[in-house]
Amino acid sequence: MDQAPRSPQPRRRPRKHVPTPVQLGVRPSTLLWRGLFIRCPACGGRHVFRNWFAMADRCPTCTLRFERVEGHWIGSLGLNTTVVFTVMLLVLLGGSIVTYPDVPLGPLLGTEMAIALLGPVVFFPPSRTLWTATDLLMRPLDAGEIDPRFVVVDPERDRRPRGGT
């Protein structure tokens, strides 16, 4: 019987640092894999996009709000750009090495242009879910961010050590 009366203290947000994978009971790589395959990183749920360009505000399965903070999507933009540039570089290097010394400049440039134009579009959905996964790995879930049924370890709820009775 150690139930203290509820004191009206302001919630000072006890920063119990429990990483998101522990909160959700999954491996860190699971979050990234789910993101890569355009699923909700937190629960693995589908239908996080209404169409190729329109992402749902919240996961229809676990209610996670994907835009976790203002400016959240800048990260996905950076990720998308990095991936597309990397692919362009690899194609340029690979194409040049394989065809050396008769490097077909025209076709190679055409391919690069096609990647530059289509790459960001093709990679748009996974860049968003993958970035959300990355963000979840860096910043743990706050209380109420997700349907509590998906949370395995909740620093608020599980504050008392287990094994009492």
Cβ contacts of 42-50, under 8 Å, gap ≥ 24: 42/136, 42/141, 42/146, 42/150, 43/146, 43/150, 48/129, 49/125
CB closer to Zn ion, 113 vs 139: 139
CB closer to Zn ion, 43 vs 79: 43
CB closer to Zn ion, 26 vs 115: 26
Q: Under the rule (CB under 5 A), what is the footprint of Zn ion?
A: 40, 42-43, 45, 59, 61-62, 64
User: At its nearest, how many Å lie between Zn ion and the CB of residue 13?
Assistant: 23
User: At its nearest, how many Å lie between Zn ion and the CB of residue 106?
Assistant: 46
Tokens linked to 46: 């589908």
User: At its nearest, how many Å lie between Zn ion and the CB of residue 137?
Assistant: 15
CA–CA gap between residue 78 and residue 115 (Å, rounded): 16
User: At its nearest, how many Å lie between Zn ion and the CB of residue 149?
Assistant: 11
CB closer to Zn ion, 40 vs 141: 40
Please, which residues bridge with residue 58 across strands?
65
